[in-house]
Amino acid sequence: MSISGSILVVCTGNLCRSPYIERRLRQALEGTEITITSAGTTAVVGEPMDRESAILVEGSGGQARDFRAQQLQPELIAPADLVLAAAREHRSAVVRMHPPALRTAMTIRDLADLLTGVTASDVRDQDLPGTWVSQVLTVAQSRRSLVPARQSGVDITDPIGRSRGAFERMSDEVESALRVIVPVLRGPVED
């Protein structure tokens, strides 16, 4: 079985949250055929990752170098099997820009909530079509009626221009979601 697919991560400036999520996912999914990129709804195009986010990525063993912010475009959204938004406003912007993304876009915390208790073997056992990432998304979406949507605390803290503590809070929120999401995206352990 091929663990493949594509993930687009979206925030506002593509400087703090989405680059952090992108690079942590790249690190966590190394060895798979899943590609991860990011963009901003109002990106500071060409700029490197915010210094504080870069420090946190590298402190976790990821790579921050060579990152450059890019503007969200329909041609980035269309091929993505999954669009992970840092906040609900970003999900809305993605869907406004490319309406078919209504099927592929969700916030990172909503995805984590929907995948809580799901294993990669659960996904494999469904024998669904498409890339592994699209299969994981299908299983997550099938759980919407079982998992109440968050009424608060869904958006990842935006730390831009704030204290180191805000960046650490952002990192903690992302890492909490990734602890649920990554084991499923990595695929089942082969027997």
Interval 51-71 mean pLDDT? 95
What confidence score (pLDDT) does residue 45 get?
Answer: 96
CATH superfamily of 4-182: Response regulator (3.40.50.2300)
Alpha-carbon distance of 120 to 52, in angstroms, equals 33
Average pLDDT, the chain: 96
Interval 56-83 mean pLDDT? 96
Do 56 and 167 form a contact (C-beta atoms < 8 A)? yes
| Closest by Cα among 19, 16, 23, 32 to 186 | 32
pLDDT band at residue 53, thresholds of 50, 70 and 90? very high
Interval 166-174 mean pLDDT? 97
What confidence score (pLDDT) does residue 189 get?
Answer: 78
pLDDT band at residue 4, thresholds of 50, 70 and 90? very high
What confidence score (pLDDT) does residue 148 get?
Answer: 85
Instruction: Read off the tokens for 184.
Output: 């499923």
Interval 28-41 mean pLDDT? 97
pLDDT band at residue 15, thresholds of 50, 70 and 90? very high
Residue 191 has pLDDT above 70, yes or no: no
What confidence score (pLDDT) does residue 154 get?
Answer: 93
Q: H or E element: which one contains 73?
A: none
Alpha-carbon distance of 77 to 7, in angstroms, equals 9
What confidence score (pLDDT) does residue 76 get?
Answer: 98
What confidence score (pLDDT) does residue 190 get?
Answer: 67
Q: Where are the domains of the chain?
A: 4-182
Distance linking the first and last C-alpha atoms of the chain: 12
pLDDT band at residue 44, thresholds of 50, 70 and 90? very high
Residues 85-95 pLDDT 10s: 999 999 999 99
